[in-house]
Amino acid sequence: MQADEAVTAAPRLTRKGQATRDRIAAAAAALMFERGVAGTSIEDVQAAAGVSPSQVYHYFKDKKSLVKAVIAFQTTQVVQAFGAVEPRYSRLDSMEALRAWRDFAVNLERSLNYAGGCPIGSLGSELAESDAEARREVAAGFALWERSVVEGLRAMRERGELRSDADPRRLGLALLTMLQGGLLLTQIRRDTAALEAGMDAMLDHIESHLIPA
Amino acid sequence: MQADEAVTAAPRLTRKGQATRDRIAAAAAALMFERGVAGTSIEDVQAAAGVSPSQVYHYFKDKKSLVKAVIAFQTTQVVQAFGAVEPRYSRLDSMEALRAWRDFAVNLERSLNYAGGCPIGSLGSELAESDAEARREVAAGFALWERSVVEGLRAMRERGELRSDADPRRLGLALLTMLQGGLLLTQIRRDTAALEAGMDAMLDHIESHLIPA
């Protein structure tokens, strides 16, 4: 499944139309990351994207449908940056790649001054109880992300590097869960101590399942 | 530090006044847990607590000060339920106590139909970027909670049950971080798979530091 498949119920757009729509979604994503969904109005988005109010409503029938596009946008961003495609940590299929991934997360949070939390986790936290459809979209985004993390661990096991009692599915889910907790606590504490302690513990735990070479 | 020390800048209240104030804070906490801070108005709180608007404003000068009281209220609740005082898991100072704590969290989430996330974590996520004071209060609440978790691990190490390379401070922080990620993903996924996989991984990791009896 493509992360943005869920939002293409809209009529087919021209290339220019698609570019405008994407620009509006990106502007909304940036504002909602900074201020939350409740703190972002259609007017704010319109001003930030440099379009007219009628243009926003041409592409998104209401704020809810804009939020849906933001979830799709942020899922794509997160899976690209933190999934298994970034060359830096290749397929997350070695301890070196996993440790580099951990460092990437810590450094990214520092560069963001510890603000914002996880782009999709915080949307999920804000919307889960008020917008069931948004909650499901965020859950689908996580499922996509989770698969890319599990895949790396599965490759390690298939190559005989991880013991047979290491369950890539459960370990991958636990790793993503720790990353979520770490990003949330980074946002709350304004430091990366929890993210570092948490990721190090999980990576040590995964490493303890390695078969000595 | 008492969790609610931070909110006692208000004038000294009569016993009846304190009870009314507590009732308003508890009603606000329940609503904000269900609908978020942005989705809860002073009028909602007033109706739920069964008091007049002027009574709310008598105890809380504005929504911000009400939010502060809610953070203190939820911190006390969370530290009582998930800190180290609940008889069920005593001082969180044995693997049995820690596993019971994990089961308690999973069962609690089931009984809540997987809704709401962590009472203080979700306040932190919603408020961190818009209310610096609230963010600091949530961080202080976490620090209190963290200490009670670390204390149990420290006791295990002092009794010679944990190896000397096990750092109770880092392990305790990692455990709390995993619990946060697990509660957030429970809320988003509407199941406890991430919470269970995450807590099991962290507890197995802690257990791997035990000195065989």
ipTM of the complex: 0.91
What is the chain B residue with the closest CA to A189?
B139
CA distance A189 to A201: 19
More confident of the two residues A204 and B78: A204
Q: How many CA atoms lie within 13 A of B130 on its CB side?
A: 19
Residue length of chain B: 213
Comparing CA positions, the residue from A96, A97, A207 lying closest to residue A161 is A207
pLDDT tens digit string along B21-57? Answer: 999 999 999 999 999 999 999 999 999 999 998 999 9
Residues 6+ apart with CB under 8 A from A68: A6, A7, A133, A134, A137
Comparing CA positions, the residue from A76, A18, A197 lying closest to residue B175 is A197
For domain B9-61, the CATH superfamily is: Homeodomain-like (1.10.10.60)
For residue B174, give the nearest of A130, A179, A201 by CB distance: A201
What is the chain A residue with the closest CA to B38?
A38
Q: Do B184 and A121 touch (CB under 8 A)?
A: yes
**Token pair belonging to A184:** 């949330």
Put simply, whether B141 touches A (Cβ < 8 Å) is no
> What is chain A's Cα-based Rg?
19
A118 touches A78 (CB < 8 A): yes
Please give the backbone phi and psi of residue B77, each rounded to the nearest 5 degrees, phi first: -60, -50
A118 touches B128 (CB < 8 A): no
The mean pLDDT value of chain B amounts to 90
The whole-angstrom distance between B199's CA and the closest CA on chain A is: 8
Model confidence at B193: pLDDT above 80 = yes
Put simply, whether A75 touches B (Cβ < 8 Å) is no
Q: CATH fold of A67-213, please?
A: Tetracycline Repressor; domain 2 (1.10.357)
Model confidence at B89: pLDDT above 80 = no
| Chain position carrying tokens 């889910």 | A173
Q: Do B128 and A115 touch (CB under 8 A)?
A: yes
pLDDT of residue A4: 47
pLDDT of residue A84: 55
A102 touches A203 (CB < 8 A): yes
CA distance B90 to A6: 47
pLDDT of residue B158: 93
> Which residues of chain A are under the pLDDT cut of 50?
1-8, 86-89
For domain B69-213, the CATH superfamily is: Tetracycline Repressor, domain 2 (1.10.357.10)
pLDDT of residue A2: 46
CA distance B72 to B166: 32
**Token pair belonging to B67:** 């939010």
Which residues are B210's β-sheet partners?
B162
| Band (B83; pLDDT cuts 50, 70, 90) | low
CATH of domain A10-61: 1.10.10.60
CA distance B35 to B40: 6
Please give the backbone phi and psi of residue B4, each rounded to the nearest 5 degrees, phi first: -100, 10
Q: Which residues of chain A does B125 touch, with a Cβ-Cβ cutoff of 8 Å?
A: 117, 121-122, 125-126, 184, 187-188
A190 dihedral zone (left: phi>0; alpha: psi -120 to 50; beta): left
A173 touches A84 (CB < 8 A): no
Q: Which residues of chain A does B105 touch, with a Cβ-Cβ cutoff of 8 Å?
A: none
Choose the mutation target among A114, A120, A125, A167 for the interface with B, i.e. most B CBs under 10 Å: A125
| Chain position carrying tokens 């709390």 | B176
CA distance A160 to A145: 24
DSSP state of B118: -
For residue B201, give the nearest of A126, A187, A202 by CB distance: A202
Model confidence at B79: pLDDT above 90 = no
B 155-194 near A (Cβ less than 8 A): 170-171, 173-174, 176-182, 184-185, 187-190, 193-194
Q: How many CA atoms lie within 13 A of A195 on its CB side?
A: 27
Residues 6+ apart with CB under 8 A from B173: A193, A194, A197, A198, B146, B150
Comparing CA positions, the residue from B58, B59, B24 lying closest to residue B44 is B24
Q: Do A180 and B179 touch (CB under 8 A)?
A: no
pLDDT of residue B80: 81
What is the mean predicted confidence (pLDDT) over B141-151?
Answer: 91
**Token pair belonging to B108:** 């609690």
Neighbours of B10 (CB within 10 A): 15
Q: Do B130 and A190 touch (CB under 8 A)?
A: no
| Chain position carrying tokens 């809610």 | B70
How many contacts (CB atoms, under 8 Å) link A and B? 168
User: b/e map of A94-132 (b: 16 or more CB within 10 Å)?
Assistant: beebbebbbeebbeebeeeebebbbbbbbbbbbbbbebe
3-state secondary structure (DSSP) of residue B179: helix
Q: Do A205 and B205 touch (CB under 8 A)?
A: yes
Domain segments of chain B: what residues? 9-61, 69-213
CA distance A47 to B142: 37
pLDDT of residue B11: 64
CA distance A118 to A177: 11
CA distance A210 to B11: 60
**Token pair belonging to B68:** 């502060």
CA distance A152 to A211: 16
